[in-house]
Amino acid sequence: MDRGAPTLDAVTTFGDLVRWRTSLSGAALAHVRRLAGTWRPLADLSFSDLLLLAPVEGEEGHRFVVLAQVRPTTGQTVYPVDMVGTVVDEVERPMLTRVWRLGEMVETDTQALSAKERVRVQVIPVTYRERLVALVTREYLPNVGRRPGELERTYLDVFQRFARMVAAGTFPFERDEEELETAPRVGDGAIVVDADTRVRFASPNAVSALHRMGIHAYAQGMKLAEIGFDSASVRASLRDGSPSMEDIDRNDVTLMVRAIPLLDGDAVTGGIVLVRDVTDLRRRDRMLMSKDATIREIHHRVKNNLQTIASLLRLQRRRVDNAEARDALAESERRIRSIAIVHETLSRDAGDVVDFTEIVRPLVRVVEESVSSDDLSIHFTVEGDAGELPGEVATPLAVVVNELMQNAVDHAFEGRDTGQVHVRLVREPDQLVIEVRDNGNGLPEHFTLEDATGLGLSIVKALVSGELGGTIEMRATGEGTEVHVRVPVVQPRVDV
């Protein structure tokens, strides 16, 4: 059943292919997706390309679609082009139909899918809870007349153990998460152990990694703990039959260790331990954490200093008799507090971006508290989500929102004792829209924003147009006034 599916050329993502071309769903789909997220070591161990195929809905056993593909970093790829989305039928690959019907692994020579050259193909059934749900093909160029070395023989043996696990439904693991890009690869270093953590093979790169940690003992035949490589995660992985990962620090060297158990039925028969030297990576991580902590501390101190300045202005305002001077000091205090709110948010979160919605809400409270009196009651509301903004954008934008709300309070409700101010935030792909709407008296006759000379609107125009590269519109609605501010999310570079 086609279900109105688009052409295969237009469908290349895993989710789209599953949705439009297969009947996979629920737990079986999750199992297949986990396999595609964790099978990279299998490609490296087999020195081969791996293709994940599922039967096309309504044509099970006759046509299969390639859902995912992984290339080896340890050998030559058969498919430099992307095969995801390719549909293979039983005429091209009769062994797929055979495996789908019998549920047994098959290996044979055949023609490559994207070229005329001959390749060796091993077809592995993917089983989930005793039900065949997909197929994996291992495809590689046969090495004629070359005798494989110990490393190659060991890796291929481990791969075949994983292949049997895939066919039995014990790989991927139920609790296995998608592999991180920073996770150790087979080429970084691999140690094959038995169920007692006794080393059966260690690749040259793994031996070099152990040497950097100060471990120089001959590992073959010895337990990991006996050579000084005592990893709690490896022991737990072999005990529980589930993969694990941890960092081990020794002699100023940090190794990322990933343990993957090997099963025969429900019994753990050994495992492969992948190791990667991440000393430089962890050092950079620590430097970034230290930098983030320093930046947060700077923002915290700036916020404290701004609050001190605001408090001094408030004290000064109380000592001034002139009403105009008191109002000017009060406006300055509010502007400083709006900037302090941004720095307070930046002092709590790592990085240089802030959730601007979480800045607008306290801004509204500051204005609402400052204008509340027995003579005038104004209700403020906030709607929408502004998303995250860089600190250098959030700071002037906070001042803009503060000025627009204060402008509404100062001019919209003359002669009235109640009013409403509504702030609406809309995040679009390339810009942020801020709308400030009141239900006040509207704009004066012949009012134009360009001719407005008030300090508040002058600040708004300068920040929006000059610093933020945005636009501002102000108009009467018949039920009050609306102000629309549009600011680019990605700020343009200015060449000096």
* Cross-strand bridge partners of residue 433: 426, 486
- Choose from 58-67, 380-389, 415-424 the range with maximum mean pLDDT: 58-67
Has residue 496 got a pLDDT over 50? no
Distances (CA, A) of 24 to 1, 29, 65, 120, 132: 14, 5, 12, 28, 11
Cα–Cα separations (whole angstroms), residue 471 to 401, 455, 460, 462, 463: 14, 18, 10, 10, 10
The per-residue pLDDT for range 323-337, each reduced to its tens digit, is: 888 878 877 877 787
Is residue 43 very low, low, confident or very high in pLDDT (cuts 50, 70, 90)?
very high
The token pair that represents 290 in the structure block: 């230290």
Single out the residue of 49, 87, 81 nearest to residue 65, CA to CA.
Answer: 87
Lowest mean pLDDT among 38-42, 194-198, 228-232, 451-455: 451-455
- Kindly report the average pLDDT of the chain as a whole number: 85
Q: What is the pTM of this model?
A: 0.63
What is the pLDDT confidence band of residue 295, given thresholds at 50, 70 and 90? Answer: low
Can you give the pLDDT at residue 30?
Answer: 94
Does pLDDT of 3 surpass 60?
no
DSSP state of 469: -
- CB 422 within 8 Å of CB 381: yes
Q: Which residues partner with 223 through β-bridges?
A: 198
Residue percentage of the chain with pLDDT more than 70: 89
Task: Dig out the tokens for 260 from the structure.
Answer: 């993957």
pLDDT band at 4 (very low <50, low <70, confident <90, very high): very low
Q: Give the pLDDT score at 213.
A: 86
Per-residue model confidence as pLDDT tens digits over 388-439? 888 788 888 888 888 888 888 878 787 787 888 899 999 988 889 999 998 8
Confidence class for position 338, pLDDT limits 50, 70, 90 = confident
The distance in angstroms from the start CA to the end CA of the chain is 61
User: 490: pLDDT confidence band, cut at 50, 70 and 90?
Assistant: low
- Please give the Cα distance from 493 to 406 (Å, whole number): 31
Shortest CA distance to 138 belongs to which of 157, 160, 117, 154?
160
- Count how many Cα atoms sit within 13 Å of the Cα of residue 163 in the half-sphere of its side chain: 24
Mean pLDDT of 230-259: 88
State the average pLDDT over residues 36-53.
95
**Model confidence band, residue 349 (pLDDT cutoffs 50, 70, 90):** low
Q: What is the pLDDT of residue 366?
A: 78
Average pLDDT (478-496) is 72
pLDDT attached to residue 5 = 44
436: Cβ contacts below 8 Å, ≥ 6 apart: 401, 404, 405, 408, 421, 422, 423, 424, 482, 483, 485
Please check the confidence at residue 452 and state whether its pLDDT lies above 60. yes
pLDDT in tens, 192-235: 999 999 999 999 999 999 888 888 888 888 999 888 888 888 99
pLDDT band at 294; cut points 50, 70, 90: low
Percent of the residues in the chain that have a pLDDT greater than 90, as a whole number:
40
Which of 27-31, 54-58, 355-359, 410-414 is predicted with the least confidence, judged by mean pLDDT?
410-414
pLDDT band at 354 (very low <50, low <70, confident <90, very high): confident
Structure tokens at 368: 């609402």
Query: What pLDDT does 193 receive?
Result: 95
Element spanning 127, H or E: strand 118-128
Highest mean pLDDT among 26-40, 111-125, 377-391, 432-446 belongs to 26-40
Q: What is the pLDDT of residue 144?
A: 61
Is 494 a residue whose pLDDT tops 50? Answer: no
Could you say which DSSP state residue 187 is in?
A: G
pLDDT of 374 reads 65
| Cα–Cα distance measured from residue 404 to residue 383, given in angstroms and rounded to the nearest whole number | 16
How would residue 350 be classed by pLDDT, with cut points 50, 70 and 90? Answer: low
Residue pair 486/429 in contact by the 8 Å Cβ criterion: no
Contact call for residues 314 and 333 (beta carbons, < 8 A) = yes
- Concatenate the DSSP letters of all residues of 259-322 into one string: EEEEEETTEEEEEEEEEEE-HHHHHHHHHHHHHHHHHHHHHHHHHHHHHHHHHHHHHHHHH---
Categorize the per-residue pLDDT at 365 as very low, low, confident or very high, splitting at 50, 70 and 90. Answer: confident
pLDDT for the residue 299:
63
Residue predicted with more confidence, 1 or 160 = 160
Rounded Cα gap, residues 53 and 51, in angstroms: 6
Average pLDDT over residues 298-306: 75
Q: What is the mean pLDDT of residues 237-251?
A: 89
Please compute the mean of the pLDDT values over residues 60-85 and round it to a whole number: 93
12 or 15, which is more confident: 15
* pLDDT for 314: 80
pLDDT bucket at 448, cuts 50 / 70 / 90: confident
